[in-house]
Structure 1
Amino acid sequence: MTEPRKPSVLFVCVHNAGRSQMAAAFLAHLGGDRVEVRSAGSAPAGTVNPAVVEAMAEKGIDLSARTPKLLTAEAVQASDVVITMGCGDACPVFPGKRYLDWQLDDPAGRGVDAVRPIRDEIERHVRDLLTELTA
């Protein structure tokens, strides 16, 4: 008897330095081995936003070693659910994939006090998604 295939989620934002990194980290942290998680950006930054790293550390999640990744067609094709966060037309669309667009403020250029509410909203979205995916 084979194990059922894990659902796979790809989080995409422009720089893969804030929103998509937080979402992927929350889903990996909360979902454990029940889900496969990816994140990428249409124009990745050089590093993860330091305020995002600090805000996530407050939740016990370490993003300090993460690096932004370039969005590829292969990453989209390998995912069941693609969640966009402001990447616009740069996100490739493939038939048979489920697409969600989360309207979230961009943490770029903001301090940790402004990132916390964005982080908390992302966590709520991720918890709802995880409940749906593992029901």
Structure 2
Amino acid sequence: MTEPDTEDRRTLPLDQHYALRVAALQLRDEFAGVFGPETIERFLHASYDQFASRSTVSNFLPLLAERFARQRLRALARVEGRHQDGKPTVLFLCVHNAGRSQMALGFLQHLAGDRAVAWSGGSEPGHEINPSAIAAMAERGIDISGEFPKPWTDEIVRAADVVVSMGCGDACPVFPGKRYLDWTLDDPAGKTVEDVRPVRDEIERRVRELLAELGVPAAI
């Protein structure tokens, strides 16, 4: 890997600037032969702007931008036929992407492993994952503390085989040819771990049912 470029049109703190340049180089290596540097940098900086516009803490912005840009680029590769692995892709959507959709994401990743792809997003992303949701999932041996609320984008929705809505209503995007499911579940926002457990268990039941419908073996 070469040293990060020294020129950048963006006015950013030096540490943020450097971290974004490193992230850009890492993404270039990962998507070499799939996307050019201009596309990669455009997605990276757009992702950074999305988080910077609503973040009160800037320390982790480059990392969040890199992770989200990677997801968006993988989705775009699927949409454009540049990457086809045959794995079913499920997108879980709710309002804040802080509770229900994150628990569903955690269950699908845990139960399906590398046999399916799981993404999540929110119509009005929050600032952090619901602590009660994190604790409730930890009781099941699933760690979602490293996840982060994020929006959805067109390429992510278009790349999904199944879009599961959990309370985002009319804000949820609709694209022709997609399979849509609407899961009515209580919002865990502001609830205790005890109150979140029934929601967690119902999400697990539905995720297992969905995996069975998709023909994906689920872990016990």
TM range (shorter): over 0.9
CA contact (8 A) 1:34 1:134 kept: no
Code of the residue aligned with 1:106 in structure 2: it is D
CA contact (8 A) 1:55 1:112 kept: yes
Q: Shift in Å at residue 4 of structure 1?
A: 6.2
The aligned residue for residue 120 of structure 2 is 39
Q: Which runs of 5 or more residues in structure 1 are unaligned?
A: none
The aligned residue for residue 131 of structure 1 is 212
Bigger strand fraction: 1
Asked if 1:93 is matched to 2:188, the reply is no
Q: Shift in Å at residue 72 of structure 1?
A: 1.2
Q: Shift in Å at residue 65 of structure 1?
A: 1.2
Q: Structure 2 CA distance, aligned partners of 1:63 and 1:37? A: 13
Paired-residue identity, %:
65
The aligned residue for residue 6 of structure 1 is 87
Asked if 1:83 is matched to 2:164, the reply is yes
Relative contact order: is structure 1 or structure 2 higher (C-alpha 8 Å, sep ≥ 6)? 1
Moved over 4 A (4+): none
Q: Structure 1 CA distance, aligned partners of 2:206 and 2:184? A: 11
Code of the residue aligned with 1:64 in structure 2: it is S
Query: Who wins on radius of gyration, i.e. which is larger?
Result: 2
Residue-by-residue CA offset, 1:73-122 (whole Å, 9 max, x unaligned): 11100100000000011111000100000000000010100000000000
Aligned to 1:120, which of 186, 190, 201?
201
Q: Structure 2 CA distance, aligned partners of 1:39 and 1:131? A: 20
Q: Shift in Å at residue 64 of structure 1?
A: 1.1
Q: Structure 2 CA distance, aligned partners of 1:8 and 1:128? A: 15
CA contact (8 A) 1:24 1:38 kept: yes
Code of the residue aligned with 2:122 in structure 1: it is G
Relative to the length of structure 2, the TM-score reads 0.59
Code of the residue aligned with 1:85 in structure 2: it is M
Q: CA RMSD in A?
A: 1.2
Q: Shift in Å at residue 133 of structure 1?
A: 0.6
Kindly report which structure 2 residues correspond to 1:65-80, keeping only aligned pairs within 5 A, or say none: 65-80=146-161
Code of the residue aligned with 1:94 in structure 2: it is F
Asked if 1:15 is matched to 2:100, the reply is no
Relative to the length of structure 1, the TM-score reads 0.95
Aligned to 2:143, which of 45, 62, 66?
62
SS in structure 1 of the partner of residue 128 of structure 2: coil
